[in-house]
């Protein structure tokens, strides 16, 4: 049997794996402790990680004691899922030469590749170099077909190309590109962000090259003896804020690099029919975040945190909005614990992934984190509620997705690891009012009510008809499905 016959297909829980090149051993009895309990090589550690990442996996790489970890070609390949994979060497600041060294053994090869990974890949505090201080051909780092790759505090040097991206989105923070021929390249259809990177020794040719790709820069950047920046074959190198000004009416940046630091303030000032770019970060808003009509909004992996009060994000009267990107909403919620209130008409959120985290809610009220009300001709995109563990002694229901009078709309709704301990009922989704002609897809994974109430994965009331509903119910003991519609609902919930 091959190696992969011993490796699970999907992660079961968060895990920390240890690698120690000096003290570790590559076999299945090691890896879960530091020192002598660690694996010896990073390549072995990667082979033990399932490709489907439903959890966060951290690989801790111990400091070398004079012997480099040497590889001909080290690949992080084919990982996907909602979790993440992190490779961590030095936890603060740049490593010194030789301390956390991954070294190339064959000139002309790529030392480290991230290939076709549809999940978040993080690398911190690692040196990508060679054991001897001479340039060897090939790439130090190459990202291909991977949309979420982040390098923090890494040393990258002695390569023909220090790092390159193709068909990928990659970010380099506080990295040192030195003694390469070209420091950094953004090649075909790549989007690269560079923030506060340096060249402690100037690269022999170019600092950064955009060849049919885009490089956003913020703060300091790699430098080259011939040129600091080169744009060719349609490539663009631009300060982040400058480029965003060309594309959007307003840039919102909690760090102060845009037009506004508050989403609420930006929407109120700019109003309808404008385009908004919201840069990554956590926004602690103190009022409802209301989408303006006709707005185009891009969320760059942002979190809206309502811990300061009972507020929500909503589109109650918005029309013809477009929203995309990754949005997390967290807090106690407003109006009976609503965090994400979807309404209005002709809104297109099909490229928006929303993660809703209810917490600190008033347990005397019905909990409904996501409320869809009086909505028509909308695409709600993908909305996920995960890791809810709440208990109430009050006879109040938990309704994760409350759909009330939605017409001719569609959406993907995911529930993962939901425990609502209540004397009343738990509903994964409650389709109420006169909800007609919708197309909804559900994924119910571990939906339980340990209390006296009933668990429903899906409950459709009498006036909701002519809907197409499909989905999967997994590990949800006792969860039932009820369709009281008097028309023709086409429902297929597969229990596994």
Per-residue model confidence (pLDDT) at position 461: 87
251 is a domain residue = yes
Whether 230 and 264 share a structural domain: no
Whether 219 and 263 share a structural domain: no
Per-residue model confidence (pLDDT) at position 263: 97
Which stretch of 51-65, 192-206, 409-423, 464-478 has the lowest confidence by average pLDDT? 464-478
Evaluate if residue 177 carries a pLDDT over 90: yes
Which stretch of 101-110, 236-245, 272-281, 345-354 has the lowest confidence by average pLDDT? 236-245
Write out the DSSP string of 393-433: SSS--EEEEEEEEEES-EEEEEEEEEEEE-SS-EEEEEEES
Cα–Cα nearest to 289, from 307, 270, 263, 321: 263
**Boundary (domain end) residue, out of 239, 270, 297:** 239
β-bridge pairing 182-186 and 169-173: unpaired
**333-358 confidence digits (pLDDT tens):** 887 778 899 999 999 999 999 999 98
Whether 151 and 111 share a structural domain: yes
Which stretch of 70-79, 406-415, 416-425, 469-478 has the lowest confidence by average pLDDT? 469-478
Confidence of residue 1 (pLDDT cuts 50, 70, 90): very low
**129-170 confidence digits (pLDDT tens):** 886 677 878 899 999 999 999 999 999 999 999 999 999 999
Domain that holds residue 206: 63-239
Whether 432 and 324 share a structural domain: yes
| 37, 151, 197, 205, 335 from 230: Cα distances, Å | 47, 22, 17, 10, 53
Confidence of residue 243 (pLDDT cuts 50, 70, 90): low
**DSSP helix/strand/coil, 483:** strand
Confidence of residue 180 (pLDDT cuts 50, 70, 90): very high
84 is a domain residue = yes
Instruction: Tell me how many domains the chain contains.
Output: 2
Cα–Cα nearest to 158, from 123, 128, 188: 128
Q: Token pair 């700019």 is at which residue?
A: 270
Measure the CA–CA gap between 325 and 99, rounded to whole angstroms.
38
Whether 109 and 250 share a structural domain: no
Whether 220 and 142 share a structural domain: yes
* 219 against 361, higher pLDDT: 219
The DSSP call for residue 319 is B
Tokens encoding 57: 């996996």
Per-residue model confidence (pLDDT) at position 2: 41
264 is a domain residue = yes
The residues that bridge with 161 in the sheet, in sequence order, are: 139, 182
Per-residue model confidence (pLDDT) at position 155: 95
Looking up residue 146, the CATH number of its domain turns out to be 2.160.20
Whether 196 and 259 share a structural domain: no
**DSSP helix/strand/coil, 60:** strand
250 is a domain residue = yes
Q: Token pair 């300060």 is at which residue?
A: 239
Per-residue model confidence (pLDDT) at position 242: 54
Measure the CA–CA gap between 206 and 12, rounded to whole angstroms.
45
pTM over 0.75: no
The C-alpha angle with vertex 204 and arms to 198 and 209, in degrees rounded to 5, equals 65
77 is a domain residue = yes
Whether 192 and 293 share a structural domain: no
Q: What is the mean pLDDT of residues 315-343?
A: 90
Output b/e per residue, 406-426; b: 16+ Cβ within 10 A: bbebbbbbbbbebbbbbebbb
447 is a domain residue = yes
Q: What is the mean pLDDT of residues 321-328?
A: 94
Whether 182 and 267 share a structural domain: no
β-bridge pairing 227-232 and 439-448: unpaired
Q: What is the mean pLDDT of residues 47-75?
A: 88
Whether 233 and 259 share a structural domain: no
57 is a domain residue = no
Evaluate if residue 6 carries a pLDDT over 60: no
Whether 150 and 274 share a structural domain: no
**Boundary (domain end) residue, out of 239, 264, 297:** 239
Whether 362 and 384 share a structural domain: yes
Q: What is the mean pLDDT of residues 121-129?
A: 94
36 is a domain residue = no
**Boundary (domain end) residue, out of 209, 239, 269:** 239
Which stretch of 103-117, 198-212, 275-289 has the lowest confidence by average pLDDT? 103-117
Evaluate if residue 245 carries a pLDDT over 70: no
Evaluate if residue 421 carries a pLDDT over 80: yes
Confidence of residue 265 (pLDDT cuts 50, 70, 90): very high
**16-46 confidence digits (pLDDT tens):** 999 999 999 999 899 999 999 999 999 999 9
């Amino acid at each position: 049997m091959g190696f992969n016959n011993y490796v699970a297909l999907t992660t079961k829980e968060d895990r920390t794996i240890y690698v120690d090149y000096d003290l570790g051993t590559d076999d299945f009895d090691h890896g879960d402790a530091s020192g002598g309990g660690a694996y010896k090589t990073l390549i072995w550690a990667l082979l033990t990680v399932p490709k489907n990442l439903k959890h966060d996996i951290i690989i801790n790489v111990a400091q070398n004691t004079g012997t480099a970890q040497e590889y001909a070609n080290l690949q992080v390949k084919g990982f996907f899922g909602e979790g993440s994979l992190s490779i961590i060497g030095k936890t603060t600041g740049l490593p010194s030469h030789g301390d956390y060294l991954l070294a190339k053994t064959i000139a002309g090869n790529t030392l480290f590749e991230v290939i076709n990974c549809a999940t978040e890949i993080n690398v911190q505090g690692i040196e990508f170099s060679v054991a001897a201080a001479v340039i060897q051909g090939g790439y130090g780092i190459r990202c291909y077909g991977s949309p979420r790759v982040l390098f923090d505090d890494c040393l990258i040097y002695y390569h023909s190309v220090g790092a390159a991206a193709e068909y990928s989105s990659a970010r380099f923070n506080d990295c040192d590109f030195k003694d390469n021929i070209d420091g950094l390249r953004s090649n075909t259809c790549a989007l690269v962000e560079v923030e506060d990177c340096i060249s402690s020794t100037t690269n022999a040719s170019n600092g950064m090259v955009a060849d049919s790709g885009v490089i956003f820069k913020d703060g300091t950047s790699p430098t080259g003896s011939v040129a600091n920046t080169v744009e060719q074959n349609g490539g663009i190198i631009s300060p982040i804020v400058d480029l965003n000004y060309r594309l959007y009416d307003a840039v919102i940046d909690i760090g102060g690099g845009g037009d506004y630091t508050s989403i609420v303030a930006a929407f109120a000032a700019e109003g309808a029919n404008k385009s908004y770019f919201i840069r990554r970060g956590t926004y602690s808003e103190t009022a409802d975040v209301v989408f303006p009509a006709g707005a185009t909004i891009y969320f760059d992996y942002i979190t809206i945190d309502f811990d300061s009060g009972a507020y929500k994000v909503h589109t109650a009267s918005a029309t013809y909005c477009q929203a995309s990107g990754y949005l997390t909403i967290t807090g106690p919620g407003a109006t009976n614990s609503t965090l994400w209130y979807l309404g209005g008409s002709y809104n297109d959120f099909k490229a928006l992934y929303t993660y809703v985290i209810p917490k600190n809610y008033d347990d005397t009220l019905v909990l409904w984190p996501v409320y869809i009300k009086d909505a028509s001709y909308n695409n709600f995109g993908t909305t996920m509620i995960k890791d809810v563990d709440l208990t109430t002694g009050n006879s109040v229901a938990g309704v994760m997705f409350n759909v009330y009078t939605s017409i001719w709309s569609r959406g993907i709704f995911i529930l993962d690891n939901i425990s609502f301990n209540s004397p009343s009922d738990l509903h994964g989704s409650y389709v109420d009012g006169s909800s007609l002609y919708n197309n909804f897809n559900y994924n119910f994974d571990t939906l339980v009510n340990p209390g006296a109430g009933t668990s429903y994965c899906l409950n459709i009331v009498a006036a909701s008809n002519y809907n197409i509903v499909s989905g999967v119910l997994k590990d949800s003991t006792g969860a039932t499905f009820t369709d009281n519609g008097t028309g023709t609902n086409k429902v297929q919930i597969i229990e596994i």
